[in-house]
Amino acid sequence: MKVQGVFLVAIYYLAFTQLVKGQPQPREACQTRCGDVAIEYPFGISSGCYYPGDDSFNITCKEDRPYVLGDTEVENFNHSGQLQVRLNRSVTCYDEQENLNRFEYSNITLANLSLSANTKFTLVGCNALAILAAFGMKNYTTGCISTCTSPPEVNGKCNGAGCCRSDVSFPLDSYRFQAVPDRISIVPSMHQYNRCTYAFLVEDGMFNFYATEDLKNLRNARDFPVVLDWSIGKQTCEQVGNTSICGANSECFNSTRGIGYNCKCFEGFEGNPYLPVGCQDINECTNPIHKHNCMDPDTCRNKDGGFDCKCQSGYRLDTFNMSCKRKDFGWAIIILGTTTGFLVILLGVCFTKQRLRRRKDTEVRQKFFEKNGGRILIQRLSEAGTSNFDVKIFTEEGMKEATNGYDESRILGQGGQGTVYKGILPDKSIVAIKKARLGDCSQVDQFISEVCMLSKINHRNVVKILGCCLETEYPLLVYEFITNGTLSDHLHGSLFDSSLTWEHRLRIAIEVAGTLAYLHSSASIPIIHRDVKTDNILLDENLTAKVADFGASKLIPMDKEQLTTMVRGTLGYLDPEYYNTGLLNEKSDVYSFGVVLMELLSGQKALSFDRPETSKHLVSYFASAKKENRLHEIIDGQVMNEENQREIQETARIALECTRLMGEERPMMKEVAAELEALRVKKIKHQWSDQYPEEIEHLLGRHIFSAQGVTNSRGYDSINNEAMSDIEAGR
C-alpha cells in the first residue's frame, strides 16, 4: 500500500460580530464550578454567563469536567490570558503485513484561542514524518522527521532517533496534523518498535521520551497538556481606552497574542480583574500566602494595596529588620550634633587642603616657568616689542586640554629630543606639541634664544613654531601640524606606499637644500640644524617639504665659524668629523643632507644591518657602487628611466660630494641648493626647447644652462626656492 499524502483542510476563522459596549457582566445565579475546576468570568457555563459575542469563552460541563470548543477538556484557567487544555493525538498504525489498519488525525479550530509560544509539535515513531498545517492569521506549516537505524536508547532524548520535535513559532488558531511512516525504509528488526507512529502537540517540558514504552503504544496516552492563549476583543488597551471590561483596582495590558487585551489586579490586590469589584485588597496581616514582614505581628496594619508596621508611641521602626525599637532622643541629638560637627570640620579640612594644593601647584608652575627661562622670554619680548615675535605663551592647563591629558593615543612620535603629541586648541585648530628636554640650567638662555629666533623664521619650508609652555617640568613647544607624515614614511613604507616620483624627490631635495642654505647664510644669526634626517622632514598634503625638529639646533655667533659642543645627532646621518672632534659647523648639516639625498635616490635606509658588512652605512654602500660603476644597481627602480638618467647621475655626484670625509672638501649648502635647482631648470629648458627652440635661445642665451655656468653665475633665493640667473643683459 502506498503512503498516503498529507491532506490540508480549510480552517474557518471566527471573529466578533460586534463590539460589546460598556462593561458586560455575567447574569446572576451562573454556575461557577464544574467538578473540581472553578469557572470564572469571562469564561462561563451557558448563555449570559460568559463574555458575550465570543463562544471561545463558552464552557460545557460534562461528567464534572469542563470543555471548551465542544470537546477540548480544560484543566486550569489563568486570569493573565492562558488556558491549560488537553488535545488529542494523531496515530497511524500498520499490521505485520504492512497494511494500514488504523489512522487517526487531529483537526481542530481554536476560534479566538491560539496555541501558546511554548508549544512543541512532537512525533514518536521510527522512520516517519509528521506535518502540522494551519490556516488562520497566516498560512503556516511545520514538521519533523524521526529515523531509526537501531533500537533507540531507553531514556533517549527526543533528538530525531525514535522521537523528534519542532517549535510552533506562530500563534495558531486552527490546525491539522498527522504522522506518516515510511514503510519502505523501515528496518525489519525495528518492527517491534514502530507498528504505530504518533504526532501530538504538548506544552514544553510536559513530555519525556522513553523508547521502550513510547514507541509501542505511547503509554496509552490519548491526549496531552497544551497551553492556549486568550484575550478580550481585537483592540489594544490604547484603542479601547476606558471602555475595557477591567474592573476596579486592576489594569489593562496588551495580549501576547498580538490581538486583544487582558486585565490584572494591582499589586496588593487579588481576585477576578474582569468583574467590576473583582480585585479585592489582600490583608497581608492575616493572609498566609501574601504575608507581611513585620517582626511583631501585632504591629501590622493593613491598607489598600499593602501594609504598614505601626510602632506604639515612644518607639521607632527599624526598617532593617522591620522591628520596633525605643526612641532615644538624647543620643540622637548627640549623634546628630557630632555628625554635623564632623562634617563641618571635614569640609573645612578639604577646602583648606584644596586651597593649599592649588597654591602649591601655582608655586610649582611658577618654579618651572622660572627654571625654563620664562622670565628671560618675557624680558626679550618686552625689549624687542611683541610685533617682532610671532610666539605665544601657553598655559599648562591649556596644554593638558589640548592633548586630552597627554593621552597615549595622541602621541605622534618619540625620540631623543622628546615626545610629540597631537593637540587641539580651543579654536579647533590642530597643532603638534613637543615636550622638549633640556640637559641642564646652562642651556636655558640658549633655549630661549632659539625659541625667539625660530619664531621669527618665516620660511615656507620650515615648520612654523607657534608658541611654547614653560609651566611644566620640561618646556612644551607648539608647532603647526603637518598632515602627510614624514619623508621616511613615504620612502620606507611604514605608513604610506613608496610612490614618490623622481620629480617629487628632486623637488623635495631642492626645498630642503634651500631651507638649510637659508638657515646657514640668510638668517640674522646662522642656525645649524644638527639633526637633518628623513624623519625630521615632514610633507604636507601637496608633498611640500617642511624641515622640523630644531631641538638639537645651535645658533652660531657672528664672530665664530664653528662651536665645540657635545655631540648630538642620529647614527647614519652624523658627520664623522663632528663625531670625532666635537667641532660643529654648517658642513655637518651638509653631510647629513648628503645622506638624505642618497635615501631619495636609492629608497634605502641610511643604516641597515641587512646589507653586507662593508655596506651597512648607506654612504659606504653608495661610494663603493659609484667606484665600481654599478650605481644603477642601488638606484630606486621606480624613479629611473631613460629621460632622467643624467639628472640622477648628477644628483648622485652631489650626494657623494656632500658626504666627503673632510668637511672642508664638502660644498656649501647654498652651492648644493644652486646645483640641484640647476638640474630642474635644465629639465624645464629641455622640455620647452623641444617645443619653442628659437624663443628659448633668444631669451636665455645659448650657454646659460650649462652646469658650470649655473654654478659660477647663479645666486640662490632660499625663501622662494628659486635659482636667480645672472643674465648679462640684465646686469
Given a contact cutoff of 8 angstroms between Cβ atoms, the answer to whether 196 and 91 are in contact is: yes
Of the candidate CATH numbers 3.40.50.2300, 1.10.10.60, 3.30.1490.440, 3.30.200.20, the domain formed by 372-480 belongs to 3.30.200.20
Q: Which of 104-118, 190-204, 422-436 has the highest mean pLDDT?
A: 422-436
Topology of 232-275 in CATH?
Laminin (2.10.25)
Where on the phi/psi map is residue 622: left (φ > 0), alpha (ψ -120 to 50), or beta? alpha
pLDDT at 270: 92
Mean pLDDT for the stretch of residues 463-483: 87
Specify the pLDDT at position 18: 29
Q: Give the pLDDT score at 185.
A: 41
Residue 43 has pLDDT above 80, yes or no: yes
Q: Where in the chain is the domain with CATH 1.10.510.10?
A: 487-717
Task: Note the pTM of the prediction, 2 decimals.
Answer: 0.48
pLDDT given for residue 709 in this prediction: 35
Give burial (CB, 10 Å; 0-12/13-18/19+) of 693.
Answer: exposed
Assess whether pLDDT exceeds 90 at residue 58: yes
Between helix 586-602 and helix 669-691 the angle, nearest 10°, is 40
* Residue partners of 659: CB distance under 8 A and separation at least 6: 591, 594, 595, 598, 619, 622, 623, 666
Amino acid found at 90 = S
Beta-carbon contacts of 721 under 8 Å, excluding residues fewer than 6 positions away, are 460, 461, 510, 511, 514, 677
Handedness of CA 229, 231, 233, 238 (dihedral sign): negative
CATH 2.60.120 describes domain 83-229: yes
Predicted confidence band of residue 418 (pLDDT cuts 50, 70, 90): confident
| Most confident stretch, 386-390, 484-488, 525-529 | 484-488
Band of the pLDDT at 440, cuts 50, 70, 90? low
- Is residue 44 within 8 A of residue 66, CB to CB? The reply is no
- Give the mean model confidence (pLDDT) for residues 192-201: 80
The pLDDT of residue 388 is: 54
pLDDT of residue 431: 92
Nearest residue to 181 via CA among 157, 158, 198: 198
- Candidate CATH numbers 2.40.110.10, 3.30.465.10, 1.20.140.10, 1.10.510.10; the one for domain 487-717: 1.10.510.10
- CATH 2.60.120 intervals, the chain: 83-229
215 φψ region: left (φ > 0), alpha (ψ -120 to 50), beta (else): alpha
Most confident segment among 390-394, 433-437, 482-486 = 482-486
The CA distance from 375 to 397, in Å, is 19
> Within 10 A of 52 (CB to CB), how many other CB atoms are there?
17
Give me Rg for the CA atoms of the chain.
Answer: 48
C-alpha 450/C-alpha 465 separation (Å) is 11
* For residue 419, pLDDT beyond 70: yes
Positions of CATH 3.30.200.20 in the chain: 372-480
Q: Of 17, 24, 30, 1, give the one whose Cα is nearest residue 97.
A: 1
Output the pLDDT for position 227: 92
Active-site residue (options: 173, 214, 229, 531): 531
Counting DSSP H helices and E strands in the chain, the numbers are 15, 40
Residue 715 confidence (pLDDT) above 50 = no
pLDDT tens-digit map of 512-564: 999 999 988 887 778 888 889 998 899 988 999 999 877 656 666 545 556 56
Q: Measured between alpha carbons, how far is residue 396 from residues 393, 434, 502 in Å?
A: 10, 13, 44
Question: Which cell numbers hold the place of 540?
Answer: 604636507
Active site residue 531: yes
Cell digits of residue 107: 483537526
Q: What gap in Å lies between CA 78 and CA 76, rounded to an integer?
A: 7
> What share of the chain in percent tops pLDDT 90?
29
Quote the pLDDT of residue 686.
63
Least confident of 137-151, 265-279, 474-488: 137-151
Question: Span 558-571, mean pLDDT?
Answer: 65
Q: What is the pLDDT of residue 100?
A: 80
Span(s) in the chain for CATH 2.10.25: 232-275
